[in-house]
Amino acid sequence: MTILHNTPTADLQALDAAHHLHPFTHGAELAQKGARVITRAKGVTLTDSDGKELLDGMAGLWCCNIGYGREELAEAARAQMLELPYYNTFFQTTHPPAIALARKLAELAPGDLDHVFFSTGGSDANDTNIRLARHYWALKGKPEKTVFISRHNAYHGSTVGAASLGGMAAMHEQGGIPIPDIEYIGQPNWWAEGGEMSPEEFGLMRARELEAKIEELGEDRVAAFIAEPVQGAGGVIVPPASYWPEIQRICDAHEILLIADEVITGFGRTGNWFGSETWGIRPDIMTIAKGLSSGYAPIGGSIVSREVADVISKGGEFYHGYTYSAHPVSAAVALENLRIMEEERIIERVREDTGPYLARKWATLTEHPLVGEAVISGMMASVALTPDKASRAAFRAGAGTAGLICRDFCFEEGLVMRHVGDRMIIAPPLVISREEIDTLIARALAAFDRTQARLEAEGLMEPA
């Protein structure tokens, strides 16, 4: 066996630190503490190299919607590898898994979204969207429509194009991004930025920043607005109910494309197949990845409207594509994943049973002294930690200090929960049971208690 099974944790960590450059990781801290080594998983439970079990409150990175260890997906990959392990879809070529998956996605996607351009993940799909939208407008005789409007604290991926589309300040400080012609408006984060406004007033105000930005730039310059129906990596920011209808109105009133980045919200996360359905959004382009294959194989794409597809198709050759666009093994795995999601009515269960159950439990977290707001959309949720609920204050210690302490206590309690600054976030596998939800909540509360004790002991409960 060339894979390092049954190797002691310390040896794995030393080798890892010696040779593996990690994404989104502080290198020196990693070398000092050693990486957490995950070796196996089943259902919603991870096992690490010391045999410790963790309830995965994040479904990996928001992707393992169907849960771990589904043999049918392994069988689908095996069968496809034996039949046709690889072929491309360039130069007028295709293969049955690509055809079947494109048809299935056209059937599932709302409205007239019925053509798919495949990628290997969400970042490269958003890069596709940049080129596709600009090319679309050029073909329509409006080559000056090149600007994308996005939002501060949006996450659209990590490639040069996708990280530019994203609004993550820390990412923009590294590597010479954003690229030109990306503009940003404010995010609908009422807790942190809503001040004295009601959430509904604030939602309208933030949506109207889009109209102001379009007017400032000139409609003839704007290609598209891109947004996540619910911001994920930004901290599971659930927008006020007033937000999306106003955004949709503005997009309808102006000749721009609306791109819904559904990489997290797609495939059941919000209780419908797509977040666009939950939030009443009618996008022209939808970015998909993550839950499409439940993370079992890398695949993503852009689902585009018939009109966009028509213009691109009639416009000659689109000089764009990835070697692994519509990879047959990934496509076969995705098809099997979608088949199981339908057959086992997993999304209906989220919408009608486990989602509302989690929502009721999640709301009770605000009874904890540390928890300001608790918000949820389907199976993605967050709480804001605060030293003072009434004023919605941040901690004087700086964003992320309390969150990191809490994250580490969660691990000790056997729960993977991420922190974004001082928001604690979850997005568990959609197959999580009521009993497992109870366990998740109990472990989160235990971690909040320990966090509060630590913050008090260290004098960190001071508001900013």
Binding site for ligand PLP (CB under 6 A): 121-123, 126, 155-157, 228, 232-233, 261, 263-264, 289, 300
> What is the rounded distance in angstroms from the CA atom of residue 126 to the CA atom of residue 107?
22
* Cross-strand bridge partners of residue 119: 300
Of the candidates 464, 377, 338, the one whose C-alpha atom is nearest the C-alpha of residue 72 is 338
The residue (of 271 and 387) whose beta carbon lies closer to ligand PLP is 271
CA-CA-CA-CA torsion sign (382, 388, 390, 391): negative
Place of tokens 């009515």: 345
Q: In the bound complex, what is the minimum distance in angstroms from residue 263's beta carbon to ligand PLP?
A: 4
Q: In the bound complex, what is the minimum distance in angstroms from residue 268's beta carbon to ligand PLP?
A: 15
Place of tokens 């050029």: 138
Q: In the bound complex, what is the minimum distance in angstroms from residue 86's beta carbon to ligand PLP?
A: 20
Q: In the bound complex, what is the minimum distance in angstroms from residue 154's beta carbon to ligand PLP?
A: 8
If residue 251 lies in a helix (H) or strand (E), which one and from where to where?
helix 243-253
Q: In the bound complex, what is the minimum distance in angstroms from residue 298's beta carbon to ligand PLP?
A: 7
Q: In the bound complex, what is the minimum distance in angstroms from residue 197's beta carbon to ligand PLP?
A: 26
Q: Which residues contact 174 (CB under 8 A, 6 or more apart)?
A: none
For ligand PLP, the nearest residue by Cβ is 122
DSSP 262: -
Of the candidates 376, 393, 386, 398, the one whose C-alpha atom is nearest the C-alpha of residue 451 is 386
**DSSP-based three-state secondary structure for 371:** strand
DSSP 376: E
Name the amino acid, one letter, at 139. L
The residue (of 333 and 461) whose beta carbon lies closer to ligand PLP is 333
Name the amino acid, one letter, at 226. I
The residue (of 230 and 350) whose beta carbon lies closer to ligand PLP is 230
The residue (of 228 and 373) whose beta carbon lies closer to ligand PLP is 228
Q: In the bound complex, what is the minimum distance in angstroms from residue 66's beta carbon to ligand PLP?
A: 17
The residue (of 247 and 263) whose beta carbon lies closer to ligand PLP is 263
Of the candidates 385, 338, 382, 388, the one whose C-alpha atom is nearest the C-alpha of residue 362 is 382
Q: CB–CB of 126/148 below 8 Å?
A: no
Of the candidates 266, 257, 176, 164, the one whose C-alpha atom is nearest the C-alpha of residue 210 is 257
- What's the token pair of residue 338? 């979608």
The residue (of 330 and 452) whose beta carbon lies closer to ligand PLP is 330
The residue (of 157 and 240) whose beta carbon lies closer to ligand PLP is 157
Q: In the bound complex, what is the minimum distance in angstroms from residue 289's beta carbon to ligand PLP?
A: 4
Rounded to 5°, angle at Cα 156 from 93 and 214 = 105
The residue (of 311 and 376) whose beta carbon lies closer to ligand PLP is 376
The residue (of 129 and 401) whose beta carbon lies closer to ligand PLP is 129
Q: In the bound complex, what is the minimum distance in angstroms from residue 179's beta carbon to ligand PLP?
A: 16
